[in-house]
A and B are shown apart, each in its own frame.
Chain A
Amino acid sequence: MGSAMRFSPSLAALMSAAAALVPDAHAQSTTAAETDARVSYRFNDYSEDAFSGAAIGDRDRYRVLSQQFQLATPVGADAALSVSATHEVMSGSSPWYVLADLQQRPLQVMSGATIQEHRNELRASWTQGTGSAGGTTYSASYSKERDYRALAAGIERSQPLGAAVTLGYGGSFSHDAIDPFEAAKYNRIDHASKNTASVFGSIAWIIDRSTVLQAGLQLNNEHGYLSDPYKLASVGHDVVADARPGRRDAVAALLRYRRAFAGPDAALHLDYRYAQDSWGVVSHTLEAAWYQTLPAHWEFVPALRYYSQQQARFYAPFYADIGDHNFVSSDYRLGTFGAVALSVNVRKRIGQWEFSGGVERYHAATGYAIGGADAPVPGVVSYTRAFIGLDYLLR
């Protein structure tokens, strides 16, 4: 009956005497983990809106087409293996640096559209202990692009603390190395690396038969070359390389709520995340999704996501002079802005096959940030992402 029941000596005697007659009885009493092996394919099309503000250069922004294959299978009675491969093709121009025009308004300079870049990633994980007594997952991944490599490994443990509480904790480590192309031509560094270490913990509660809640905390530390070698910042009349601190510490807190509604045969997902780091970036993320089951094995999932961040201390679209700025960056991703995303996903099952598809429309603007924004942040991006997916269940 799982770790929740205490076995009296009488019960232990009965169960052990019954074991020869019904050998699979205890093995059946695992929580409903995926018992089928599953092969999955996903195709994603990510397409950013063309740059709409004042700009110089190619306004067509990033487009990424990616394909993913995954195999996930139970191994024996108590373990599971998952292996996935991703291939991405990226093209389009990106924000390069920002100039101030004569009225001190920002003028975004775009990089030329690059040739198509490819990224390949391989990821594997092994879970030992798929039943109700908890388990440990070991994972590793390797990602490679022409100019970038990342190797990562992690461990995560899930431990029941009683009938209704589960503890989760773990850590991961990653080593990234970049060899920017055209380094000499653009006076970029020619090689750099960074290390990232992270630890996390979470507790999950079963509140009642239809409600679960999870709270988590994560600590992150990045150390090494954290600047973007392809970006520049405008300081007075000069244009200098993007220069960020060599260290970034972050803490994030997460709250996740899941609630089933029997009447409409649906479930509500609410997620909130708060993060802050040593660069001064503070963010809030709120996501809500409604999982609706429909007749004939259809699932329909509309979702809404709201994101808001406050800028890094050293961010500015451009700088009048170097002053006491040790660090400079005009990367919009460090600015103050907010984003609203609406998405709809659908899923349909036919026998052993599952078909899925969805669209996300994401719109970012400085005015969406909590507390509003004073400084302009040229370069905030809006995009459309669509995907289709195919899963096959092997029994």
Chain B
Amino acid sequence: MTTAPGRHAIHSYRFNAMGCPCELQLDAEAADAARAAAAAQAEVDRLDRKYSHYRDDSLVARIGAAADAGHAVEVDAETADLLDFAATLHAQSNGRFDVTAGALTKLWDLRASRVPDADALATALARTGWQRVEWRRPRLRLTLPGMRLDLGGVVKEYAADRAAQCCREAGVGHGVVDLGGDIAVVGAHRDGAPWLAGIKAPHDTGRAIAMIELLHGGLATSGDYERVMIVDGRRYSHIIDPVTGHPVESFASVSVVADSCLVAGAASTMGMLLGVDAGDEWLRGLGLPYLCVDAAGRTRGTLLR
């Protein structure tokens, strides 16, 4: 982080959450910034505990247990809004964006460094699909035992927006939230200047392929070059196509700018899921500024001139 001379001091807070390094940069007086950072971090931790599909005590785990027992779960308003959002994503992507792919994503455990066998994959696929969900607000039932929710494509971006909102509610209107590359702007610098976000080059992460000025809204990037598994010389990304059961073969990264990190993240994940040409076409039709980088470092999109 650099601060040019003459600017107000920027306060930076780093912590770990949701499995990635997080940073808040706040342009405010020290006491206000500390208070806002504490509130924002508490909110991110809350969402991490609530929606993590790695934790046994999360709401997602509870919903999974209820699925195994055949029960419905009555969910709170926040979860209901997230599920409505997920339903919209499923419809807009013709089924490619699916938050019920939990069984599949658990199978593709990148730390195990092995490709799951065909039988396990088939079983997991059979337990995936938003069409197998009974969602009548506020009651949710995953209709097959073994079905699991994975809100990974949604919660981190939502948490970035929520963290930014917590800062604003704590009285700090100038700053930026960065949760492992998913960025939500609290507000422009106090003198009106924008925040600069760099999109890393896929295979040379010390270099930025683009610098984006953000005055408001969010920037989300989906990519395979940080969470990836390499087995027998093939790259397997962490983004699983719920229709085929396999990781997508797609761009190295997709970045999207939108009014919220949530929408930016949904769009960037969709762009990845749809694959190289279909993804580019879908993003172009969507109308948001975006940047796709392929494995060779070539770029397409409307984010750069």
Contacts and interface: CB of A to CB of B under 8 A. Distances in A.
Interface of A: 1, 5-8, 10-11, 13-15, 17-18, 20-22, 24-26, 28-30, 32, 35, 265, 293-297, 351, 395
B233 interface: no
Contacts of A14: 88-89, 92, 263, 266-267
B161 A297 contact: no
A10 B285 contact: yes
B84 A20 contact: yes
Interface residues of B, number: 42
Interface of B: 4-6, 8, 29, 78, 81-82, 84-85, 87-89, 91-92, 158, 161-162, 165, 168, 171, 173, 185, 187-188, 192, 215-218, 258-260, 262-263, 266-267, 282, 285-288
A39 B119 CA distance: 71
B81 A25 contact: no
A353 to B, nearest CB: 13
Nearest to B287: A8
Contact of B263 (A15, A30, A293, A297): A15
A395 to B, nearest CB: 7
B6 A265 contact: yes
A21 B88 contact: no
A296 B7 CA distance: 7
B84 A17 contact: yes
Contacts of B266: 14, 18
Given A11-B286, A17-B85, 16 more contacts: A7-B287, A10-B92, A10-B282, A10-B285, A10-B286, A11-B287, A15-B263, A18-B262, A18-B263, A21-B158, A22-B162, A22-B263, A25-B259, A28-B217, A294-B6, A351-B29
Contacts of A22: 158, 161-162, 165, 259-260, 262-263
Task: Tell which of B78, B259, B287 has the most Cβ of chain A within 10 Å.
Answer: B259
Nearest to B168: A24
A7 B286 CA distance: 7
B188 A32 contact: yes
A8 B286 contact: yes
Task: Tell which of A32, A295, A351 has the most Cβ of chain B within 10 Å.
Answer: A32
A21 B82 contact: yes
Contacts of B258: 1
